[in-house]
Structure 1
Amino acid sequence: MTDHPVLNPGNGGRYDVAIAGGGIAGASLAAALAPHARVVVLESESTPGLHATGRSAAFWSETYGGPAIQPLTTASGAALRDGGFLESLGSLHIGRASDSVAAAAFLDEFRDSPVALEPVDPHAHVTGLRDDWTIGIWEPSCAYIDVAGLHAHYLAQARRAGTAIVTDAGVQSAARQDGQWSIETPAGRFIAPVLVNAAGAWADVVAIRCGVRPIGIRPYRRTMVQLRTDPAPPAGLPHVADIAGGFYFKPESGGRLWLSPHDEIPTDPCDAAPEEIDVAIAIDRLQGAVDWRIEGVEHRWAGLRSFAPDRRPVYGFAEPGFFWCAGQGGFGIQTAPAAATLAAALILGRSPDLPGVDPACYAPGRFVDSIR
């Protein structure tokens, strides 16, 4: 691979690495690879980041995704903070008395990790919290994350280093011959020895179009609503999550509240849209937690989150020249710096400098038996 890539504006061409997907996974990987290789990003939509990336709930939490994801999240923290993409928020995990076992298990999961967790009185953090919510666990490191800024940063960094970003260029088919992938798209034919599958909810679809065995990446719909409440979210309100997984909410600018029922509805890859029943469920669960009055639903949307069968992301070569960068669930943005570092190192044949991160945990080889 070359050390000094030259920008190719698209319309076909030869590259060292072709990345299918321009969301946060593809953009961050392109930025990491571009100083060392000729890279093209093939985005199926007219704008990168239209689906999962553009519809994120926009918070960074070291416990989100569980212990298997935490090392990637923690390893990403410094880059995100130094880049100015994080803003202090804090997270409060709340529960009722019936959730005491789940709360104890949650604390135990992260007991030997670097994540700071502290049992607290939840009412001291959330004004208007109903009396039966008696369990509170404070996660001070949780932060807002500037998703749009981070995604734009990676795209700009990749472009400056010579990456071609081609839109309306979804992979229609691909075949490998003599160590090269020939990739057909509406924007032309692209040739590269390495094809990266960073297609999010469409990852298995792309694999099949390339003649590669799918892993079993499944997309799920998640609903978000923006609410106007009375009273408005109190000053200093943190991100608040039901420890039983029934909802989460967080304050937004303008005195608004973002709320999700924490749903995961199996779906085909699509341009996701919210269902009225899921919006109603979210509001009902919120009203069971706080005594605020809902004055209006100002906005509602849904996004797709895609998981491998074991709910860990997949980074690595499964077949010659075909690299998986998929299955990031809802934590692809908060892990992007470390995940891109890991994936780029594997593609370039180098050792990733990520203390605490075990690449084998995310390797596609763990699915070899199940996909035969």
Structure 2
Amino acid sequence: MSDRFSLLILPGDGIGPEVMAEVRKVIAWFGKRRGLLFDVDEDLVGGAAYDAHGTPLSDATMARAQSVDAVLLGAVGGPAYDNLDFAVKPERGLLRLRKEMDLYANLRPAQCFDALADFSSLKREVVAGLDILIVRELTSGIYFGEPRGIHSDDNNPDNEGGRVGINTQRYTSGEIRRVARSAFELARKRKNRVCSMEKANVMESGILWREEVQWVHDNEYPDVELSHMYADNGAMQLVRRPSQFDVIVTDNLFGDILSDAAAMLTGSLGMLPSASLGAPMANGRPKALYEPVHGSAPDIAGQGRANPIACILSFAMALRYSFDRGEDADLLERAVEKVLADGVRTADLMAADGGTPVGTSEMGDHIVAALDQLG
């Protein structure tokens, strides 16, 4: 018996098409060797979509994303689009996907492979064996709150320049409770610990956040260990003793910052995947978008030097969270770990003492070969 799923691939800009080509090799392997078959469609997002349609995400592509089991995205943006109007910048396509698919829970794992422990900016003994999952609320908070904008401030004589920038931090109980439930559910499958981070000492939205996370814990997940921490202390603790954390749940703004800080504990942004999940569809699978954490890296685009591992591990997250194929996800992660343990490196993972890095395509080939050996 074989399983069949639908997948929309949006390679995007910069190195996106290069790393996505290596994911296609992995998808083909799972179809051939594990009976995991995909109806794969491909479309445009970001700058590529703007070049073709004058918009970073067409309505047709948005409709297609709503209809599939999962979306896999490469990267968006680049200097060629820096002077575009804000409304049509490449990043607006990604934000539209997140908002209209209602992908409220962003999962950012920070896992340190043993072979790369020395690449972290922290000491090996601090990061060795690191395995953290940050759950960031993704569709509300200060990035979406109203009112917002830049306005004249002519009535304030003390305001040199005469303008004011406004962004509104806004959360509802329901928005907080649903992302808290996601964090508790994930913790039950890990080490059963959740740390909630906010700024309840200075922000009313932080007080609400703390109270609602505590309510979900007390009424629905009393078996999961819950702690609370101010987000600024959380940032300090991530670089002081990151192993104290299992699952961290936090709001959109703090999650953006904290997940990038956690990313550097692992040594390279080229290693880090992410998942953005929403409510279950009629088939029981969540609305889902998977993407590497790294950007479009326009400085190396088209050179065959990009590290495809983050995008490949994003597909591993899709296997786990969208397709309920945890064993296959584990297999793919072990294949990546084996390749790294064997000393295979792209340029971003090379030590200062030299060696010859492999290219994007070669790294993909090595991972497929490791799947052959392990699977």
TM-score after normalising by structure 2: 0.26
TM-score after normalising by structure 1: 0.27
Q: Higher strand share goes to which structure?
A: 1
Q: Higher helix share goes to which structure?
A: 2
